[in-house]
């Protein structure tokens, strides 16, 4: 039977965590000697369906696990207020936590490049996203230097696990292609 501590460890670095009611739900799991409390079939917790359920409705059936969202935007907007023109051409800003340092470096380099221009002529970042397992960063204007900065960031992301930042055993694969290390492919990958 999985211990409560192990459940916490199990959730670490994943896209979900234990819910607010986890301790109460764990009492039912204990009463059932480690079995999922809400299945007709006797299956051990974590049950085979929890990943699908978290993806589909945001939590597993017994509400032990809930999806957590990583939203890097508030932090970046505070750090680089001049790089984003919300309401202008801005589209979106989203990627996994493992790529944060790569995007951060690209932003600081673009900000430095921007100093060459008058404030009203400065570049804005309009979109940062993951597509087909790769990092995509778009600005509203480009200089040779910006293209270089973006190219370096996209290449670095291709060699870095989008989830945990590891550079070990990184590959792009899966049904929805994702760039993850072997451990994260195993933990987050869909069969």
Task: Return d(Cα 157, Cα 3) in angstroms, integer.
Answer: 35
Interface region with Zn ion, contact rule CB under 5 A, candidates 3-11, 68-76, 109-117, 178-186: 178-186
Q: What phi and psi values does residue 16 have, to the nearest 5 degrees?
A: -145, 165
Q: Does 188 help bind Zn ion (rule: CB under 5 A)?
A: no
Q: Which of 96, 163, 179, 188 binds Zn ion (CB under 5 A)?
A: 163
Task: CB nearer to Zn ion: give 2 or 182.
Answer: 182
Q: Which of 83, 106, 181, 188 binds Zn ion (CB under 5 A)?
A: 181
Task: CB nearer to Zn ion: give 139 or 160.
Answer: 160
Interface region with Zn ion, contact rule CB under 5 A, candidates 26-34, 59-67, 145-153, 166-174: 166-174
CB of 178 to Zn ion, least distance (A): 10
Q: Does 135 help bind Zn ion (rule: CB under 5 A)?
A: no
Task: CB nearer to Zn ion: give 14 or 59.
Answer: 14
Q: Which of 166, 171, 174, 177 binds Zn ion (CB under 5 A)?
A: 166
Q: Could you list the residues that contact Zn ion (CB under 5 A)?
A: 161, 163-164, 166, 181, 184
């Amino acid at each position: 039977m999985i211990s409560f501590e192990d459940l916490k460890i199990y959730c670490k670095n994943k896209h979900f965590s234990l819910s607010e009611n986890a301790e109460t739900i764990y009492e039912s799991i204990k009463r059932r000697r480690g079995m999922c409390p809400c299945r007709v079939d006797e299956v051990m917790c974590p049950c085979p369906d929890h990943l699908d359920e978290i993806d589909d409705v945001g939590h597993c059936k017994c509400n032990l696990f809930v999806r957590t969202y990583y939203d890097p935007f508030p932090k970046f907007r505070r750090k680089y207020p001049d790089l984003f023109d919300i309401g202008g051409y801005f589209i979106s800003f989203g990627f996994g936590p493992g790529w944060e340092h790569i995007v951060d470096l690209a932003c600081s380099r673009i900000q430095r490049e921007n100093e060459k221009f008058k404030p009203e002529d400065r570049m804005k970042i309009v979109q940062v996203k993951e597509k087909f397992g790769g990092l995509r960063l778009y600005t509203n204007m480009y200089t040779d230097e910006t293209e270089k900065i973006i190219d370096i960031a996209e290449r670095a992301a291709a060699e870095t696990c989008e989830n945990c930042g590891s550079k070990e055993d990184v590959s792009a694969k899966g049904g929805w292609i994702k760039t993850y290390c072997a451990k994260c492919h195993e933990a987050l990958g869909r069969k």
